[in-house]
Copies of this chain bind each other. A is one copy, B any other.
Amino acid sequence: MQRFVNDPDYIVDDMVKGFVKAHEDLIVKSEKNDRVVKYKNAPVEGKVGLVTGGGSGHEPAFLGYVGENMMDAAAVGEIFSSPSAQTFYDAFLEADAGKGVACLFGNYAGDNMNVKMAIRKAGKKGVEVKMVAATDDISSSPKETKEKRHGIAGGVFMWKIGGARAALGGSLDEVIQSAQKAVDATRSICVGLEPCTIPAVGHPNFNIENGKMEFGIGHHGEPGMNVQELKSADEIADQMTEAVCEDLELARGDETAVILSGLGATPVMEQYVLYGRAEKYLERKGIHVYRAFVGNYVTSLDMNGAALTIMRLDDELKELLDYEAGCPGLTVKAK
Protein backbone atom coordinates (compact mmCIF):
# COMPACT_ATOMS: atom_id res chain seq x y z
CA MET A 1 0.00 0.00 0.00
CA GLN A 2 1.60 3.22 -1.22
CA ARG A 3 -0.14 5.92 0.79
CA PHE A 4 0.36 9.30 2.41
CA VAL A 5 -0.35 8.23 5.95
CA ASN A 6 1.10 8.50 9.45
CA ASP A 7 -0.28 6.15 12.09
CA PRO A 8 -3.31 4.76 10.21
CA ASP A 9 -5.28 4.72 13.46
CA TYR A 10 -5.09 8.52 13.56
CA ILE A 11 -5.67 9.33 9.90
CA VAL A 12 -9.08 10.87 10.63
CA ASP A 13 -7.54 13.24 13.18
CA ASP A 14 -4.80 14.15 10.73
CA MET A 15 -7.36 14.74 7.99
CA VAL A 16 -9.63 16.90 10.15
CA LYS A 17 -6.67 19.01 11.25
CA GLY A 18 -5.62 19.62 7.66
CA PHE A 19 -9.18 20.30 6.59
CA VAL A 20 -9.78 22.91 9.27
CA LYS A 21 -6.46 24.61 8.52
CA ALA A 22 -7.09 24.66 4.78
CA HIS A 23 -10.57 26.13 5.15
CA GLU A 24 -10.19 28.39 8.15
CA ASP A 25 -11.96 31.20 6.30
CA LEU A 26 -15.14 29.07 6.41
CA ILE A 27 -14.74 26.29 8.98
CA VAL A 28 -13.80 25.92 12.63
CA LYS A 29 -13.53 22.91 14.87
CA SER A 30 -16.02 22.68 17.71
CA GLU A 31 -14.47 23.55 21.06
CA LYS A 32 -16.46 20.76 22.71
CA ASN A 33 -15.87 17.87 20.36
CA ASP A 34 -12.85 17.23 18.10
CA ARG A 35 -15.06 15.31 15.71
CA VAL A 36 -17.42 18.19 15.01
CA VAL A 37 -16.62 20.93 12.53
CA LYS A 38 -18.85 23.92 12.04
CA TYR A 39 -19.40 26.89 9.79
CA LYS A 40 -17.53 29.81 11.34
CA ASN A 41 -20.76 31.85 11.58
CA ALA A 42 -22.83 29.01 13.07
CA PRO A 43 -25.28 29.08 14.70
CA VAL A 44 -26.67 31.59 12.23
CA GLU A 45 -29.22 33.80 13.95
CA GLY A 46 -32.79 33.39 12.71
CA LYS A 47 -31.91 30.36 10.56
CA VAL A 48 -32.77 26.70 10.94
CA GLY A 49 -29.57 24.79 11.75
CA LEU A 50 -28.32 22.15 9.33
CA VAL A 51 -26.23 19.14 10.27
CA THR A 52 -24.78 16.25 8.34
CA GLY A 53 -22.33 13.53 9.26
CA GLY A 54 -21.08 10.08 8.51
CA GLY A 55 -18.01 7.92 8.32
CA SER A 56 -14.73 9.32 7.03
CA GLY A 57 -13.01 8.28 3.81
CA HIS A 58 -15.65 9.95 1.62
CA GLU A 59 -13.99 13.38 1.47
CA PRO A 60 -14.97 16.02 0.65
CA ALA A 61 -18.12 14.46 2.22
CA PHE A 62 -19.31 14.97 4.84
CA LEU A 63 -17.40 17.82 6.44
CA GLY A 64 -16.69 19.54 3.10
CA TYR A 65 -20.34 20.46 2.73
CA VAL A 66 -20.25 22.76 5.75
CA GLY A 67 -20.22 26.40 4.75
CA GLU A 68 -22.19 29.36 3.50
CA ASN A 69 -25.83 28.44 2.81
CA MET A 70 -24.92 24.77 3.23
CA MET A 71 -24.51 22.71 6.41
CA ASP A 72 -23.83 24.50 9.69
CA ALA A 73 -22.02 21.57 11.29
CA ALA A 74 -20.83 18.06 10.48
CA ALA A 75 -20.24 15.02 12.68
CA VAL A 76 -17.09 13.15 11.65
CA GLY A 77 -16.85 9.39 12.13
CA GLU A 78 -13.98 6.94 11.90
CA ILE A 79 -13.25 5.54 8.46
CA PHE A 80 -16.43 4.02 7.02
CA SER A 81 -18.19 4.10 10.39
CA SER A 82 -20.80 6.34 11.91
CA PRO A 83 -19.99 9.23 14.23
CA SER A 84 -21.20 8.49 17.76
CA ALA A 85 -24.62 9.67 18.98
CA GLN A 86 -22.77 12.12 21.23
CA THR A 87 -20.97 13.57 18.22
CA PHE A 88 -24.21 14.04 16.29
CA TYR A 89 -25.71 15.60 19.44
CA ASP A 90 -22.79 18.01 19.79
CA ALA A 91 -23.14 18.93 16.13
CA PHE A 92 -26.85 19.68 16.70
CA LEU A 93 -26.01 22.05 19.54
CA GLU A 94 -23.37 23.83 17.46
CA ALA A 95 -25.88 24.35 14.65
CA ASP A 96 -28.94 25.30 16.68
CA ALA A 97 -29.94 28.97 16.72
CA GLY A 98 -33.27 28.30 18.42
CA LYS A 99 -35.18 27.55 15.22
CA GLY A 100 -34.54 23.80 15.27
CA VAL A 101 -32.10 21.63 13.38
CA ALA A 102 -32.43 19.51 10.23
CA CYS A 103 -30.12 16.49 10.18
CA LEU A 104 -29.49 15.39 6.59
CA PHE A 105 -27.50 12.17 6.38
CA GLY A 106 -26.86 9.03 4.36
CA ASN A 107 -29.16 6.29 5.69
CA TYR A 108 -26.54 3.77 6.79
CA ALA A 109 -27.52 1.58 9.75
CA GLY A 110 -25.05 3.03 12.24
CA ASP A 111 -25.82 6.62 11.26
CA ASN A 112 -29.54 5.96 11.53
CA MET A 113 -29.23 4.55 15.02
CA ASN A 114 -26.91 7.26 16.30
CA VAL A 115 -28.83 10.13 14.70
CA LYS A 116 -32.05 8.92 16.32
CA MET A 117 -30.41 8.61 19.75
CA ALA A 118 -28.95 12.08 19.35
CA ILE A 119 -32.34 13.48 18.33
CA ARG A 120 -33.95 12.09 21.50
CA LYS A 121 -31.17 13.53 23.62
CA ALA A 122 -31.47 16.93 21.94
CA GLY A 123 -35.25 16.86 22.47
CA LYS A 124 -34.71 16.51 26.21
CA LYS A 125 -32.50 19.58 26.05
CA GLY A 126 -35.30 21.46 24.25
CA VAL A 127 -33.64 21.42 20.81
CA GLU A 128 -35.97 20.18 18.12
CA VAL A 129 -34.22 18.08 15.47
CA LYS A 130 -35.86 16.47 12.44
CA MET A 131 -34.10 14.26 9.93
CA VAL A 132 -33.97 13.31 6.27
CA ALA A 133 -31.96 10.34 5.01
CA ALA A 134 -30.66 10.28 1.44
CA THR A 135 -31.65 7.10 -0.41
CA ASP A 136 -30.24 7.70 -3.88
CA ASP A 137 -28.18 4.53 -4.43
CA ILE A 138 -30.53 2.41 -6.56
CA SER A 139 -28.33 -0.67 -6.23
CA SER A 140 -28.57 -0.82 -2.44
CA SER A 141 -32.17 -2.05 -2.26
CA PRO A 142 -35.00 -2.79 -4.71
CA LYS A 143 -37.43 -0.06 -5.65
CA GLU A 144 -40.18 -1.55 -3.47
CA THR A 145 -38.01 -0.95 -0.42
CA LYS A 146 -36.60 2.38 -1.51
CA GLU A 147 -36.58 3.59 2.10
CA LYS A 148 -33.78 1.10 2.83
CA ARG A 149 -31.48 2.47 0.15
CA HIS A 150 -28.22 4.20 1.05
CA GLY A 151 -27.25 7.74 0.25
CA ILE A 152 -24.20 8.38 -1.93
CA ALA A 153 -23.44 11.47 -4.05
CA GLY A 154 -27.15 12.32 -4.07
CA GLY A 155 -26.54 13.69 -0.58
CA VAL A 156 -24.90 16.69 -2.23
CA PHE A 157 -28.24 17.70 -3.77
CA MET A 158 -30.06 17.11 -0.46
CA TRP A 159 -27.56 19.38 1.32
CA LYS A 160 -27.67 22.03 -1.41
CA ILE A 161 -31.48 22.16 -1.52
CA GLY A 162 -31.96 22.01 2.25
CA GLY A 163 -29.23 24.59 2.76
CA ALA A 164 -30.81 27.03 0.34
CA ARG A 165 -34.29 26.61 1.83
CA ALA A 166 -32.91 27.38 5.28
CA ALA A 167 -30.94 30.37 3.97
CA LEU A 168 -34.14 31.71 2.41
CA GLY A 169 -35.75 31.72 5.85
CA GLY A 170 -37.61 28.39 5.69
CA SER A 171 -38.99 26.92 8.90
CA LEU A 172 -37.73 23.54 10.14
CA ASP A 173 -40.66 21.80 8.50
CA GLU A 174 -40.08 23.63 5.24
CA VAL A 175 -36.38 22.73 5.24
CA ILE A 176 -37.22 19.08 5.91
CA GLN A 177 -39.83 19.15 3.16
CA SER A 178 -37.42 20.62 0.57
CA ALA A 179 -34.59 18.25 1.51
CA GLN A 180 -36.98 15.29 1.31
CA LYS A 181 -38.19 16.54 -2.06
CA ALA A 182 -34.58 16.56 -3.31
CA VAL A 183 -34.09 13.01 -2.03
CA ASP A 184 -37.30 11.83 -3.70
CA ALA A 185 -36.18 13.36 -7.02
CA THR A 186 -32.64 11.89 -6.94
CA ARG A 187 -31.11 8.55 -7.92
CA SER A 188 -27.50 7.35 -8.23
CA ILE A 189 -25.55 4.36 -9.44
CA CYS A 190 -21.93 3.48 -8.87
CA VAL A 191 -19.43 1.40 -10.86
CA GLY A 192 -16.24 0.07 -9.32
CA LEU A 193 -13.11 -0.85 -11.30
CA GLU A 194 -10.63 -1.29 -8.45
CA PRO A 195 -11.27 -1.67 -4.71
CA CYS A 196 -10.25 0.63 -1.87
CA THR A 197 -8.04 -0.02 1.13
CA ILE A 198 -8.78 1.08 4.68
CA PRO A 199 -5.36 2.39 5.83
CA ALA A 200 -5.41 0.54 9.16
CA VAL A 201 -6.23 -2.73 7.37
CA GLY A 202 -3.58 -2.33 4.68
CA HIS A 203 -5.19 -4.47 1.98
CA PRO A 204 -8.54 -4.25 0.15
CA ASN A 205 -11.55 -5.67 2.01
CA PHE A 206 -13.04 -6.83 -1.26
CA ASN A 207 -11.81 -7.74 -4.68
CA ILE A 208 -12.57 -6.69 -8.26
CA GLU A 209 -10.88 -9.02 -10.69
CA ASN A 210 -8.76 -7.60 -13.47
CA GLY A 211 -10.86 -7.25 -16.61
CA LYS A 212 -14.08 -7.06 -14.59
CA MET A 213 -16.17 -4.24 -13.11
CA GLU A 214 -18.74 -4.22 -10.35
CA PHE A 215 -21.93 -2.53 -11.47
CA GLY A 216 -23.81 -0.96 -8.56
CA ILE A 217 -21.02 -1.32 -6.01
CA GLY A 218 -21.62 0.45 -2.69
CA HIS A 219 -19.39 3.18 -1.29
CA HIS A 220 -17.80 0.77 1.18
CA GLY A 221 -17.47 -2.10 -1.28
CA GLU A 222 -20.97 -3.45 -0.66
CA PRO A 223 -21.68 -5.98 -3.43
CA GLY A 224 -23.39 -4.39 -6.43
CA MET A 225 -26.06 -5.62 -8.80
CA ASN A 226 -23.62 -7.78 -10.71
CA VAL A 227 -20.03 -8.30 -11.81
CA GLN A 228 -19.49 -7.78 -15.53
CA GLU A 229 -16.69 -7.79 -18.05
CA LEU A 230 -15.00 -4.38 -18.02
CA LYS A 231 -16.64 -2.43 -20.85
CA SER A 232 -15.80 0.72 -22.78
CA ALA A 233 -16.43 4.08 -21.09
CA ASP A 234 -19.36 4.73 -23.43
CA GLU A 235 -20.98 1.40 -22.67
CA ILE A 236 -20.51 1.92 -18.94
CA ALA A 237 -21.91 5.46 -19.06
CA ASP A 238 -24.89 4.29 -21.12
CA GLN A 239 -25.61 1.49 -18.70
CA MET A 240 -25.35 3.79 -15.66
CA THR A 241 -27.52 6.48 -17.20
CA GLU A 242 -30.12 3.98 -18.35
CA ALA A 243 -30.35 2.44 -14.88
CA VAL A 244 -30.83 5.83 -13.22
CA CYS A 245 -33.31 7.09 -15.82
CA GLU A 246 -35.39 3.96 -15.44
CA ASP A 247 -35.50 4.01 -11.67
CA LEU A 248 -36.26 7.73 -11.58
CA GLU A 249 -38.78 7.30 -14.42
CA LEU A 250 -37.29 10.23 -16.31
CA ALA A 251 -39.25 11.23 -19.39
CA ARG A 252 -38.75 13.37 -22.48
CA GLY A 253 -38.84 17.04 -21.52
CA ASP A 254 -37.61 16.55 -17.97
CA GLU A 255 -34.98 18.92 -16.64
CA THR A 256 -32.22 17.57 -14.45
CA ALA A 257 -29.10 18.29 -12.44
CA VAL A 258 -26.30 15.75 -12.74
CA ILE A 259 -23.24 14.83 -10.68
CA LEU A 260 -20.50 12.61 -12.07
CA SER A 261 -18.31 11.90 -9.07
CA GLY A 262 -14.97 10.14 -9.04
CA LEU A 263 -14.50 7.72 -6.15
CA GLY A 264 -11.02 8.83 -5.08
CA ALA A 265 -8.53 7.31 -7.51
CA THR A 266 -10.40 8.04 -10.74
CA PRO A 267 -8.52 10.42 -13.07
CA VAL A 268 -10.33 13.69 -13.77
CA MET A 269 -9.95 13.05 -17.51
CA GLU A 270 -11.96 9.85 -17.29
CA GLN A 271 -14.66 11.52 -15.21
CA TYR A 272 -15.24 13.91 -18.12
CA VAL A 273 -15.25 11.04 -20.63
CA LEU A 274 -18.04 9.35 -18.65
CA TYR A 275 -19.95 12.58 -18.14
CA GLY A 276 -19.90 13.44 -21.83
CA ARG A 277 -21.48 10.14 -22.77
CA ALA A 278 -24.04 10.29 -19.94
CA GLU A 279 -25.23 13.69 -21.12
CA LYS A 280 -25.36 12.42 -24.70
CA TYR A 281 -27.58 9.57 -23.53
CA LEU A 282 -29.88 12.02 -21.79
CA GLU A 283 -29.99 14.31 -24.84
CA ARG A 284 -31.03 11.39 -27.02
CA LYS A 285 -33.92 10.76 -24.63
CA GLY A 286 -34.92 14.42 -24.72
CA ILE A 287 -33.85 15.01 -21.13
CA HIS A 288 -32.17 18.36 -20.47
CA VAL A 289 -29.24 18.90 -18.10
CA TYR A 290 -29.69 22.25 -16.36
CA ARG A 291 -26.55 22.06 -14.21
CA ALA A 292 -23.72 19.53 -14.15
CA PHE A 293 -21.00 18.82 -11.61
CA VAL A 294 -17.95 16.68 -12.45
CA GLY A 295 -15.27 15.89 -9.87
CA ASN A 296 -14.61 14.19 -6.55
CA TYR A 297 -17.85 15.02 -4.72
CA VAL A 298 -18.27 11.88 -2.60
CA THR A 299 -15.39 9.40 -2.62
CA SER A 300 -14.42 6.06 -1.12
CA LEU A 301 -10.77 6.40 -0.10
CA ASP A 302 -8.73 5.20 -3.10
CA MET A 303 -11.48 3.35 -4.94
CA ASN A 304 -11.24 3.53 -8.72
CA GLY A 305 -14.77 4.01 -9.94
CA ALA A 306 -17.49 6.56 -10.57
CA ALA A 307 -20.97 7.45 -9.41
CA LEU A 308 -23.66 9.04 -11.56
CA THR A 309 -26.35 11.04 -9.77
CA ILE A 310 -29.39 12.62 -11.39
CA MET A 311 -32.00 14.88 -9.78
CA ARG A 312 -35.22 15.71 -11.61
CA LEU A 313 -35.88 19.43 -11.31
CA ASP A 314 -38.99 21.52 -10.96
CA ASP A 315 -39.14 25.28 -10.45
CA GLU A 316 -38.63 25.05 -6.69
CA LEU A 317 -35.63 22.71 -6.90
CA LYS A 318 -34.12 24.83 -9.67
CA GLU A 319 -34.41 28.00 -7.62
CA LEU A 320 -32.85 26.31 -4.59
CA LEU A 321 -30.10 24.67 -6.64
CA ASP A 322 -29.20 28.04 -8.14
CA TYR A 323 -29.05 29.79 -4.78
CA GLU A 324 -25.51 30.98 -4.06
CA ALA A 325 -23.50 28.61 -1.87
CA GLY A 326 -19.88 28.20 -0.87
CA CYS A 327 -18.29 25.30 0.93
CA PRO A 328 -15.10 23.29 0.31
CA GLY A 329 -16.97 20.59 -1.61
CA LEU A 330 -19.15 22.78 -3.80
CA THR A 331 -19.44 26.36 -4.95
CA VAL A 332 -22.55 27.58 -6.71
CA LYS A 333 -22.82 31.03 -8.20
CA ALA A 334 -26.28 32.33 -9.03
CA LYS A 335 -26.97 31.85 -12.75
Interface of A with B (CB < 8 Å)? 2-6, 11, 14-19, 21-23, 25, 56-57, 59-60, 193-194, 208, 210, 213, 230, 232-234, 236, 260, 264-277, 279-280, 289, 291-296, 299, 301-302, 304, 306, 326, 328, 331, 333, 335
Please, could you name 13 A-B residue pairs with CB atoms under 8 Å apart, sorted by A? A2-B304, A3-B233, A5-B270, A5-B273, A14-B233, A15-B269, A15-B272, A15-B276, A22-B260, A22-B272, A22-B292, A269-B301, A331-B333
Contact of A5 among B22, B232, B276, B299 (CB under 8 A): B232
Residue of B nearest to A23 (CB): B292
Are A2's CB and B264's CB within 8 A?
no
Are A6's CB and B234's CB within 8 A?
yes
Contact of A14 among B2, B60, B276 (CB under 8 A): B276
Query: How far is B216's CA from A22's CA once the two chains are assembled, in angstroms?
Result: 23
Are B267's CB and A59's CB within 8 A?
yes
Residue of B nearest to A324 (CB): B333
Contact of A302 among B59, B230, B260, B267 (CB under 8 A): B267
Q: Nearest-CB distance from A211 to chain B (Å)?
A: 8
Query: How far is B271's CA from A60's CA once the two chains are assembled, in angstroms?
Result: 11
Query: How far is B296's CA from A241's CA once the two chains are assembled, in angstroms?
Result: 25
Q: Nearest-CB distance from A12 to chain B (Å)?
A: 8
Residue of A14, A17, A275 ringed by the most chain B CB atoms within 10 A: A14
Residue of A194, A270, A295 ringed by the most chain B CB atoms within 10 A: A270
Secondary structure at the A interface, as helix, strand, loop or mixed, is mixed
Apart from A6-B273, A22-B279, A59-B272, list 11 A-B contacts with CB within 8 A.
A3-B267, A3-B270, A4-B236, A15-B270, A15-B276, A21-B276, A21-B279, A22-B275, A59-B267, A264-B267, A331-B331
Query: How far is B86's CA from A196's CA once the two chains are assembled, in angstroms?
Result: 43
Are B335's CB and A25's CB within 8 A?
yes
Are A295's CB and B296's CB within 8 A?
yes
Query: How far is B11's CA from A274's CA once the two chains are assembled, in angstroms?
Result: 11
Residue of A21, A60, A302 ringed by the most chain B CB atoms within 10 A: A21
Q: Which residues of B contact A301 (CB under 8 A)?
A: 267, 269
Query: How far is B175's CA from A194's CA once the two chains are assembled, in angstroms?
Result: 45
Q: Nearest-CB distance from A117 to chain B (Å)?
A: 27
Contact of A11 among B17, B268, B269 (CB under 8 A): B269
Residue of B nearest to A208 (CB): B2
Are B59's CB and A18's CB within 8 A?
no
Residue of B nearest to A17 (CB): B276
Question: A2-B194, A18-B294, A273-B18 are contacts. A265–B268 as well, Cβ < 8 Å?
Answer: no
Contact of A4 among B5, B21, B270 (CB under 8 A): B270
Q: Nearest-CB distance from A103 to chain B (Å)?
A: 23
Query: How far is B3's CA from A177's CA once the two chains are assembled, in angstroms?
Result: 40
Query: How far is B13's CA from A234's CA once the two chains are assembled, in angstroms?
Result: 13
